Amino acid sequence: MHANLAETTSREDFRQLAAEHRVVPVTRKVLADSETPLSAYRKLAANRPGTF
């Protein structure tokens, strides 16, 4: 795991990691008492390309 990677990565850390790596993991906390992993992914991805 990269030393600067935490549960919440700052925008500056993300930019630095993105400059050095092709894929940068990003996390987000979501209130999930009524969501499934798939429905949460679909909402967060919003049909954007490159989100797996």
- How confident is the model at residue 47, as a pLDDT? 83
Mean pLDDT of 43-47: 88
Range of the domain at 29: 1-52
Please answer whether residues 24 and 14 qualify as being in contact, where contact means their C-beta atoms are separated by less than 8 angstroms.
yes
Give Cα separations from 38 to 10, 28, 41, 48 (angstroms).
25, 14, 5, 15
- How confident is the model at residue 3, as a pLDDT? 52
- What are the tens digits of pLDDT across the range 3-38? 544 467 788 989 999 999 999 888 777 676 788 888
- How confident is the model at residue 6, as a pLDDT? 47
- Based on the structure, what is the number of domains in the chain? 1
Please give the distance of CA 26 from its chain centroid, rounded to a whole number.
Answer: 2
